[in-house]
Amino acid sequence: MLFLWLYMFYSCAGSCAGLTTRGSPAPPRAAPPLPPLLEEQRAAPDAGSPISSFFNGSGTKRLPQAIIIGVKKGGTRALLEFLRVHPDVRAVGAEPHFFDRNYERGLAWYRDLMPKTLEGQITMEKTPSYFVTKEAPARISSMSKGTKLIVVVRDPVTRAISDYTQTLSKKPDIPTFESLTFKNRTTGLIDTSWSAIQIGIYAKHLENWLLHFPIGQILFVSGERLISDPAGELGRVQDFLGLKRIITDKHFYFNKTKGFPCLKKAEGSSKPHCLGKTKGRTHPDIDQEVVQRLRDFYRPFNMKFYQMTGQDFGWD
């Protein structure tokens, strides 16, 4: 009997110790402290660790490994929208303008603008004004010398007219394209201070980038071929980024009204998607003599650009 009593006493000790008075709940037991490593991860998960994905919801915000740096009115928006179809590309929708207008905000601010990515995905952004910003190459190189750069280029004369057309839609009272093109129309001296003209001197801007990046780290996409053969140009871009060729002909259809290709299915949607009404505007009629003078002006710069890039874009 004594042994039975002792057995019951010791069996109850573990489970009954938490009871204070009959019918009263036991006070909560303090959770055992986490090991030091887990305690640090709970407070500030490592950006690259699997536990980070758990605490952050899905993926990690990273600085971009690739940037579409130009050019304005070349087709950068179309390229970005096409690339976002790829499951391994995550891109900022709006233009951050970090390396030209917001650099003083710092890299932490810039990183926070980026979408979260999983391991193996590429973070991208596009800001076309970077290509003509003198400080941008050194700033991007300072962030990462390995950043891949993409430049969408287009016939500089057509690009200038498109640039003017965009401005005209916002400011209908601006002077004519012809009057803005020349410093003196009688002498035929082109006004290279006008941004619409200046942006198209691609060779001049590229020289600045080659001081900080090797030519093999910059991909030049033809704005014309992006319209005539979007799948072909996207194939080159996917290869350049080290991505599997997932975006193909089956993703596009040609919109005759707008005059350029559209996506059969946009990112996150089952519906066809074309760029907005601000894209594909009808250009005003420009005096053909002025157009020819511009072609003559750009020709030597185009030739130099072809030599620098090893590509003939067929603008002449």
d(CA 192, CA 214): 27
- C-alpha torsion 49→106→242→93, nearest 10: 100
- Known binding residue 204? Answer is no
- Known binding residue 24? Answer is no
- Known binding residue 86? Answer is no
- Known binding residue 185? Answer is no
- C-alpha torsion 82→135→312→278, nearest 10: 40
Q: Tell me the CA distances in angstroms from 3 to 7, 8, 9, 11, 139, one per residue in order.
A: 6, 9, 10, 12, 82
- Known binding residue 245? Answer is no
Give the angle 236-242-245 at the CA atoms, nearest 5°. Answer: 55
Burial grade of 302 (CB within 10 A; 0-12, 13-18, 19 or more): buried
d(CA 62, CA 60): 6
| Whether 116 is catalytic | no
- Known binding residue 21? Answer is no
- Known binding residue 281? Answer is yes
Instruction: State how far Cα 154 lies from the chain centre.
Output: 19
Could you tell me if residue 81 is left (phi over 0), alpha (psi between -120 and 50 degrees) or otherwise beta? alpha
- Known binding residue 147? Answer is no
- Residue in 73, 171, 265, 271 annotated catalytic: 73
- Known binding residue 29? Answer is no
- Known binding residue 223? Answer is no
- Known binding residue 282? Answer is yes
Specify binding-site residues: 73-77, 154, 162, 279-283
Specify binding-site residues for 3'-phosphoadenylyl sulfate: 73-77, 154, 162, 279-283
Q: Which residues are catalytically annotated?
A: 73
